[in-house]
Structure 1
Amino acid sequence: MNIKLVDSLDEFEAAKHVRMVVFVEEQKVSPEEELDEHDETAIHFVGYEEGEPIAASRLRFVDSYGKLERICVIKEHRGKSHGTQIITAMEEIISEKGFTKAKLNAQTHAIEFYQQLGYETVSGEFMDAGIPHVTMVKEL
């Protein structure tokens, strides 16, 4: 997978497309909840395979953390380490910006995936967009 930092409208549209497929169509999150005010200021990533966008995420800096958000891979492309690749790319940018901690809100079904990448749960379960989540952190 070729991961790009979004720097054009076309790439942003590709990232939004992946998010809409995964979160809105598959997980039934409302489009209004999925696309929010943070999209304008976040750093976006899009992963391509054979020219097609198949993964996306966004990164914001909140307090002393790089906050990983909207991490998604289109269903047919899961299980091929694409999620790990995009998270690694995000962590590299966090480190380049001088931050030493990463944070994310994980859907509970993905806790084990994030634990394998070194993230630790630091909250109880909470609902976000009707989906159970926990907050997880990692020292980089």
Structure 2
Amino acid sequence: MSVKKKIQVEKVTDPIKLEEVFAIRTQVFVIEQQCIPELEKGFEDESVHFLATVDRAPAGASRWRETTQGYKLERICVLPEFRGLGIGKGLVEAMLQDLPSDAGYIYLHAQVQATGLYENFGFVKVGSPFGEAGIMHCKMEKNVIADDQIN
């Protein structure tokens, strides 16, 4: 009999919770995926950070930030032992709900194997796959204004 796990995603600004966010990102991107540590950090002060927990244990992290192009979702990751529980979906939902109501252009650089997650939220691939931090990515975008005009 499986026990239902309590998954929670929250926006974090508290330094202790931010350290949990950074520890998850280090574990997934630097240790597991062997990204260069210097490439993983950056834009922290101008980003809005999220922490996902499972039964209060840190499990996933993400952030969004405003760029000159629009709003970029970034650093979406889940620790291996918590994958398959819907945490990535929860992180994306939380970020999209948190964006300003006038966010007209939202984009991200998705690792190729994760594009399906973002397609479920209406993101579409743009251009050809490219290497970033030694991993193949696809640029994906979601034009919220265009989506609203269709309905």
Tell me if 1:110 matches 2:110: no
Tell me if 1:123 matches 2:127: yes
Tell me if 1:11 matches 2:11: no
Tell me if 1:68 matches 2:73: yes
Equivalent of residue 20 in structure 1, options 26, 48, 65: 26
Query: Does the residue aligned with 2:85 lie in a helix, a strand or coil?
Result: coil
Asked if the contact 2:10/2:94 (under 8 Å) is kept, the reply is no
RMSD over aligned Cα atoms: 1.3
Q: After TM superposition, what 4+ stretches of structure 1 lie above 3 angstroms from structure 2?
A: none
Asked if the contact 2:53/2:59 (under 8 Å) is kept, the reply is yes
- Kindly state the Cα deviation for residue 64 of structure 1 after the two structures are TM-superposed: 5.1
Query: Does the residue aligned with 2:128 lie in a helix, a strand or coil?
Result: coil
Distance 1:129 1:63 in 2: 21
Distance 1:11 1:82 in 2: 17
The size of the alignment, in residue pairs, is: 138
Give the aligned residue type for 1:94.
L
Equivalent of residue 85 in structure 2, options 80, 83, 89: 80
Task: Give the percent of matched residue pairs that are identical in Structure 1 and Structure 2.
Answer: 33
Larger radius of gyration between Structure 1 and Structure 2: 2
- Kindly state the Cα deviation for residue 100 of structure 1 after the two structures are TM-superposed: 2.7
Distance 2:135 2:69 in 1: 26
Give the aligned residue type for 2:21.
A
- Kindly state the Cα deviation for residue 57 of structure 1 after the two structures are TM-superposed: 0.5
Distance 2:13 2:128 in 1: 36
**Which is worse superposed, 59-68 or 77-86?**
59-68
Q: Which residue of 2 aligns with 1:45?
A: 50
Distance 1:20 1:26 in 2: 8
